[in-house]
Amino acid sequence: MPNLNGTTVHPDCRHFRGDVPCRPNKEQGYVCAGCPVYAPTQQRILIIKLGAIGDVIRTTPLLRRLRQEYPAAKITWLTLTPAILPQGAIDEILKLDLSSVLHLQAREFDLLFNLDKDKEACALHDTIRATHKFGYTLHPAGVAWPGNDLAQHKFLTGVFDQLSLGNQKPYVQEIFELCGFEFRGEEYVFDTHEDKGYNWNILPQGSPALA
């Protein structure tokens, strides 16, 4: 394990930040040496889902399947709206900006899911190193294109109104299939905002009073 000036450091831990103290250090005072919540990363997963806000929320059921399939994975999500994502379910939430792009392009992932047809998302799919990639790539013509056969259905229903009108698959099922999974009714994952001081237990119970 790495040792810096006599101090044990675990850069492979899912909690480790590298630039600021991790949450276990901040909240419980744990240090890497003997840390009871040390969680070595076995897979690195990147989700690119920028917007719109509704579609970002509708994509969160995928987190449940990824946690089931890869319980020791570090999940990174790149988006335009980081505040709406469930903080506790994602290890690293990044907003699309130059600094995020630069450091993602210097990293390597085991799985990359690009779920957006935006040109910048497709370009990132092509320039970020990953062992397995799913979703959309950038065609030489400068437009989005299916990265593999799994992405063809969702791609076509998004570019032809006739196919969209005849499509019987819910959005979340299409997303799961694009990622190589069978949708099993996984539910949305919402941010409770407890880290911001909200206490939902104090809200009134029952039906609202009518004037």
Strand order in the sheet with 43-48: 92-95, 73-79, 43-48, 108-114, 129-138, 144-146
Residue 87: the pLDDT is 87
CATH 3.40.50.2000 residue ranges of the chain are: 43-186
Chain-wide mean pLDDT for the chain?
Answer: 91
CATH number of 43-186: 3.40.50.2000
Give this prediction's pTM: 0.89
Tokens of 210: 């009518």
For residues 29-58, average pLDDT: 95
In this structure, are strands 144-146 and 129-138 parallel, antiparallel, or unpaired?
A: antiparallel
Per-residue model confidence (pLDDT) at position 88: 86
pLDDT tens for 124-157 read 999 999 999 999 999 999 999 999 999 999 999 9
pLDDT at 211: 42
What is the Cα–Cα distance from 153 to 164, expressed in whole angstroms? 10
Strand, helix or coil at 136? Answer: strand
What is the token pair recorded at 137?
């790539």
Q: What is the mean pLDDT of residues 190-209?
A: 54
Would you say residue 101 has pLDDT above 80?
yes
Percentage of the chain lying above the pLDDT 90 cut: 85
Strands in 28-100 per DSSP E: 43-48, 73-79, 92-95
Written as six digits, the tokens of 106 are 């210097």
Q: Provide the pLDDT for residue 210.
A: 45
